[in-house]
Amino acid sequence: MRRTGSDGGPAAELEEAGREVEWEMRPGGMLVQKRPADPGAAAAPEVRVRISYGPARYEVSVSSLATFGELKKLLTAETGLQPGEQRLMYRGKERRDGEYLDLCGVKNLSKMVLVQDPTSLERRYVEMRRNARIHSAQRTISDVSLEVDKLADQAKRVQKCVEILDVLKISNARLNPVVITTKWEIFDPPTTTRWEFFD
């Protein structure tokens, strides 16, 4: 007799049939078995949903069997907000990620409101301030390092000049001093001068 750890549900049937069970992570963090794509079944109809986010308006086509979490993933490219930062309101109520569009009554050209999560706004603001401080500190450090590099170049030039002067001093010290032994005579101008006389 073979014992299995499952309750004999669809996953057990798939394992017995030799197919591997595929799992997917829902936006809420729940791990669920992936729905098998039935090739004989008709594809779920696409619905166009109108989303307003502040002054912007978006129109997104999505499967009617999709969840609000999947819709949020599609809106990430449009709005730049991560799915965790988005709050979708439909018929005045905030909808969770795991709720299906068709079960909530979403039809073609239905209107929804997208709001940014206030806590994510605050986190983003704190992150921006922290990044600004880090950026200003990096800029200050780079300015100081640039100044140090300039001063290092000047110090190298001064060091070269000092070394050249030391070499000249040593080479001049080796030369014997020139001794002048010549006695100079001083010549006086002649005392008599020729004068010209006129009669």
- % of residues, the chain, pLDDT over 90: 19
Categorize the per-residue pLDDT at 3 as very low, low, confident or very high, splitting at 50, 70 and 90: very low
- For 120-141, what is the mean pLDDT? 90
pLDDT at 72 over 60: yes
Strands 23-25 and 31-33: antiparallel
The helix (run of H) or strand (run of E) holding residue 135 is: helix 118-174
More confident residue, 139 or 7: 139
What b/e string do you get for 46-62 counting C-beta neighbours within 10 Å, with b at 16 or more?
A: ebebebebeeeeeeeeb
- Eight-state DSSP code of residue 93: E
Which residues face 47 on adjacent strands?
A: 62
Distance, in Å, from the CA atom of 65 to the CA atom of 113, rounded to the nearest integer, reads 20
- For 149-171, what is the mean pLDDT? 91
Categorize the per-residue pLDDT at 16 as very low, low, confident or very high, splitting at 50, 70 and 90: low
Q: What are phi and psi of 83, to 5 degrees?
A: -55, -30
Average pLDDT, the chain: 80
Q: What are phi and psi of 114, to 5 degrees?
A: -105, 125
Distance, in Å, from the CA atom of 171 to the CA atom of 123, rounded to the nearest integer, reads 71
- Within 8 A by CB and 6+ apart from 114, the residues are 51, 52, 53, 75, 79, 81, 86, 87, 88, 89
pLDDT tens by residue, 73-120: 888 888 888 888 888 888 888 888 888 888 888 888 888 888 888 888
- Within 8 A by CB and 6+ apart from 72, the residues are 27, 83, 86, 88, 97
pTM exceeding the 0.75 threshold for the entire prediction: no
pLDDT at 162 over 60: yes
- Asked if residues 101 and 44 have their Cβ atoms less than 8 Å apart, the reply is no
Tokens of 91: 């018929």
Q: For residue 119, how far is the Cα from the chain centroid?
A: 22
Determine the CATH number of domain 42-116: 3.10.20.90
pLDDT at 154 over 90: yes
Which residues face 48 on adjacent strands?
A: 61
Tokens of 135: 């950026």
- Using alpha carbons only, give the angle 47, 49, 51 rounded to the nearest 5 degrees: 170
Categorize the per-residue pLDDT at 1 as very low, low, confident or very high, splitting at 50, 70 and 90: very low
- For 40-63, what is the mean pLDDT? 82
Domain boundaries, the chain: 1-40, 42-116, 117-155
